[in-house]
Structure 1
Amino acid sequence: MSVFIELAVGDGHGQTSPADAARIADAAQHAGITGLRLLDHGTTEPTIDPSVVAAHLAGRYPALHYLIDAPTTGNAPYNLARRVLSVDRATAGRVGLVLRPGGGDEVSDATTPQPVSSDPAQRWSEYATILAALWESFPRSALSGDQQRAIVIDDSQIRAVDHTGPFYRVAGPLDGPASVQGRPVLVATDLDLLGSARVAAAADAVILGTHEFGSSADTLRTALAAAGRHRSDIAILARSSGAGDVHAPPGADGVVLAFAHGADQIIRAITGRAENISVPVGTTLRAELGLRWQGAA
């Protein structure tokens, strides 16, 4: 069972300080916790950019996996895809992106000044499609390193995205090779807003609240079948408070624990659960979640 600890890292009220985040990461790594979900917002203030936090912590705690939260609001698809993939490559495929629905960004709005819709769910779906295309645009096999022919990169394998849609125009490709796990894991939340059909079509994983888990998981399974995907194609994580024993609802592949108390209490809870949790060292996030490799060759 995968277990993630949810943190909002920053200096604002109710947030976890960078120093305490490092303490929690250290305890989590020693306890065999799967990884950390890093939020991009606190209760009232923004956090430190989760991709920056993930890069910093991953350099010190390489056994953990990292879920980086980011909304569509303020994040151009190309920029976010490149940033997340950079952290993913540096961690040998231990990163996922929790893409949250929202508004646009000034870069994309300049090229699509009058989108045909303001629906955040439709925007999310298009954004997810672009991410997948960008993350597959530069296959790892394109790094040929052929000294005899003096070829470092086989650019015939690199594909432009050339996407034109209701919200975004993205040329691509990315300027670096794909992930060792195929592409970073794309995680959805806000199932009620996005709709099960969109999530089933695009997401590799989904986070559901424990209060909605039963009915939402059933709806998602139906949507997966309609999209031609199997239940094994998506990991379902149940988000709950850190109180009580760690256990996943029937049908869940893991949990995301959102503690309401401070670093010392979180560390004690992690340490107390260490004997029940074990994560193989060196696994990609996809492998840890039981997902197949997916992406460009």
Structure 2
Amino acid sequence: MTRQLHLNLFLMPRGHHEAAWRHPTATRRALTDLQLYVEAARIAEGAKFDAVFLADALVAPGNGGLVASGALELLTLLSALAASTSTIGLIGTASTTYSHAYTLARQFASLDHLSNGRAGWNIVTSWLPLVGANYGLDDDVPHADRYAIAEEFVEAVDALWRSFPADAVLDDQASGRYLDPARVVPADYRGERIRTRGPLNVPGSPQGRPVYVQAGQSDTGRAFAARWAEAIFTAHLTKESARSFYGDVKGRAAVYGRRGEDIVVLPGISAAIGSTQGEAERVWEELDDLTSTEVGLSRLSARFGGHDFTGVPLDRPLRAADFPDPAKVEASKSRAMGYADVALAEGLTLRQLLRKLAGARGHFTATGTPEAVADIIEDWFTTGAADGFNVMPPIMHSQFELFASEVVPILRRRGLFRQDYEGSTLREHFGLGPVAEPAPLARSA
């Protein structure tokens, strides 16, 4: 079978550029208006995208009221989208650090049932500062501990999803037997940090279980992805970085007895599209003119675990001393140090770095005609940098409508992207095989 390009919509309500909410072509629907999300999901489904992906944050906005923020609880929203769409996958983010395994297992199993097999769980460890205080902790959980918790958490959820198989439901009116109790067994998961008895009280879902999605990029995150992930959302500012990541994580999968094709790697791409190169460039110029230095500094500080950049001159080339010691960064460490590496390699000023990150927060940005954007996607796909992309429109819905109506048809004409859905579940969209038993952690390199 010919290798298939995968496309997800990474849905930010007004768009991925931090100033998108101020742009005249951005949707004016409230971030709490269900129709905003339904409209976006239907555009994506009409273009035959694999999935809609929603990120999540467990803290209130701390940007001085200068960025559109404050959206809906994610699983509630995805359940509503399940009723408003028919085929597109629905991927939601949920934290292993600040959730209960039993509750999360019930929620995502329910979403998979409600959507007839379209659910995916984006597994995160929650790096944002000050989250711990929202969950009764004095401090945030350290980076190394977060991944240790995550290993046990996913093991526990996986065991719960296997504890009540679908075929245990007999629903036999004649015999009077609704369940085969021998098939429903406790998970009895007991780790050092996570414990849950089970069994789950939701039967096995249409896909067997939701698809495992992950986005970590540190060495620990890559090892975790090699064991668990079936799709990886990753951020790269260059194709070279993306190719290195692609080869590394697929190679690590072999340690767990997995094949490279068992994992779909999806870098983010935020494309400003115009009928000419100049028209596309004006999209970024208009957005950059609406950005706030205060917001940029706040977001950069959060990425570096609260490091204060306000004393750094805005228009002097950045120096290594302007960034914190990597060993002391307890937030999104790999992404943060990637910012530093790029800034130093390109000789960027702080102002230039803030503008570079305002559009897509360390994901790849593209500028050009639909043909030019399709060229980039094809190049990354055919040269070992990606299995597809997490599409991150800078402005919703205007720039996404252009991607769906102009870029996708070019990819189809080149034989890279589906004409129509060939299956009904997210697992089928991604071309994944049947659910396999998890590999033992002891086999890690």
Which bracket does the TM-score occupy, shorter chain normalised? 0.7 to 0.9
Per-residue CA distance 1:139-188 (angstroms, 9 max, x = gap) = 11101122332111111101211111122111111111112211100111
Question: Quick check: 2:125–2:150 contact (8 Å CA) kept in 1?
Answer: yes
What is the percent sequence identity of the aligned residues? 25
Query: 1:150 aligned to 2:176?
Result: yes
Question: Quick check: 1:191–1:208 contact (8 Å CA) kept in 2?
Answer: yes
CA distance in 1, matches of 2:97, 2:13: 19
CA distance in 2, matches of 1:156, 1:9: 46
CA distance in 1, matches of 2:101, 2:431: 27
SS at structure 2 position matched to 1:135: helix
User: Which residue of the partner structure matches residue 123 of structure 2?
Assistant: 99
Specify the code of the residue in structure 2 equivalent to 1:285. L
Query: 1:132 aligned to 2:148?
Result: no
Deviates more, 1:37-46 or 1:117-126: 37-46
User: Which residue of the partner structure matches residue 188 of structure 2?
Assistant: 162
Structure 1 158/242 Cα, relative in aligned 2: closer, same or farther at 3 Å? Answer: farther
Query: 1:72 aligned to 2:96?
Result: yes
Query: 1:7 aligned to 2:11?
Result: yes
Note the C-alpha offset of 1:67.
0.9
CA distance in 1, matches of 2:422, 2:251: 34
Structure 1 74/195 Cα, relative in aligned 2: closer, same or farther at 3 Å? Answer: closer
User: Which residue of the partner structure matches residue 260 of structure 2?
Assistant: 231
Which of the residues 142, 145, 151 maps onto 1:119?
145
Query: 1:285 aligned to 2:285?
Result: no
Query: 1:30 aligned to 2:46?
Result: yes
Structure 1 90/282 Cα, relative in aligned 2: closer, same or farther at 3 Å? Answer: farther
Which of the residues 89, 112, 118 maps onto 1:88?
112
SS at structure 1 position matched to 2:78: helix
Specify the code of the residue in structure 1 equivalent to 2:166. R
Specify the code of the residue in structure 2 equivalent to 1:55. S
Structure 1 225/63 Cα, relative in aligned 2: closer, same or farther at 3 Å? Answer: same
CA distance in 2, matches of 1:194, 1:80: 23
| Stretches of structure 1 lacking an aligned partner (at least 5 in a row) | none
User: Which residue of the partner structure matches residue 229 of structure 2?
Assistant: 203
Question: Quick check: 1:76–1:105 contact (8 Å CA) kept in 2?
Answer: no
Specify the code of the residue in structure 1 equivalent to 2:36. D
Question: Quick check: 1:63–1:281 contact (8 Å CA) kept in 2?
Answer: no
CA distance in 1, matches of 2:230, 2:79: 22
CA distance in 2, matches of 1:105, 1:283: 38
Specify the code of the residue in structure 1 equivalent to 2:263. I
Length-normalised TM-score, structure 2: 0.59
CA distance in 2, matches of 1:200, 1:171: 27
Which of the residues 189, 193, 201 maps onto 2:215?
189
User: Which residue of the partner structure matches residue 258 of structure 1?
Assistant: 392
Structure 1 293/149 Cα, relative in aligned 2: closer, same or farther at 3 Å? Answer: same
CA distance in 1, matches of 2:389, 2:252: 22
Structure 1 90/272 Cα, relative in aligned 2: closer, same or farther at 3 Å? Answer: same
CA distance in 1, matches of 2:43, 2:270: 18
Calculate the aligned-residue CA RMSD, in Å: 3.0
Question: Quick check: 1:102–1:124 contact (8 Å CA) kept in 2?
Answer: no
Structure 1 208/221 Cα, relative in aligned 2: closer, same or farther at 3 Å? Answer: same
Question: Quick check: 2:169–2:179 contact (8 Å CA) kept in 1?
Answer: yes
Structure 1 9/50 Cα, relative in aligned 2: closer, same or farther at 3 Å? Answer: farther
Aligned residues: 290
Note the C-alpha offset of 1:221.
2.0
SS at structure 2 position matched to 1:259: coil
User: Which residue of the partner structure matches residue 75 of structure 2?
Assistant: 51
Specify the code of the residue in structure 2 equivalent to 1:34. D
Query: 1:21 aligned to 2:37?
Result: yes
Length-normalised TM-score, structure 1: 0.86
Deviates more, 1:135-144 or 1:33-42: 33-42
Specify the code of the residue in structure 2 equivalent to 1:235. V
Deviates more, 1:119-128 or 1:17-26: 17-26
Question: Quick check: 1:203–1:234 contact (8 Å CA) kept in 2?
Answer: yes
CA distance in 2, matches of 1:48, 1:193: 32
Question: Quick check: 1:213–1:238 contact (8 Å CA) kept in 2?
Answer: yes
Question: Quick check: 1:8–1:47 contact (8 Å CA) kept in 2?
Answer: no
Specify the code of the residue in structure 2 equivalent to 1:179. S
Specify the code of the residue in structure 2 equivalent to 1:8. M
CA distance in 1, matches of 2:182, 2:100: 26
Runs ≥4 residues deviating over 4 A: 12-16, 42-46, 103-106
Which of the residues 379, 394, 403 maps onto 1:269?
403
Which of the pair has more CA radius of gyration? 2
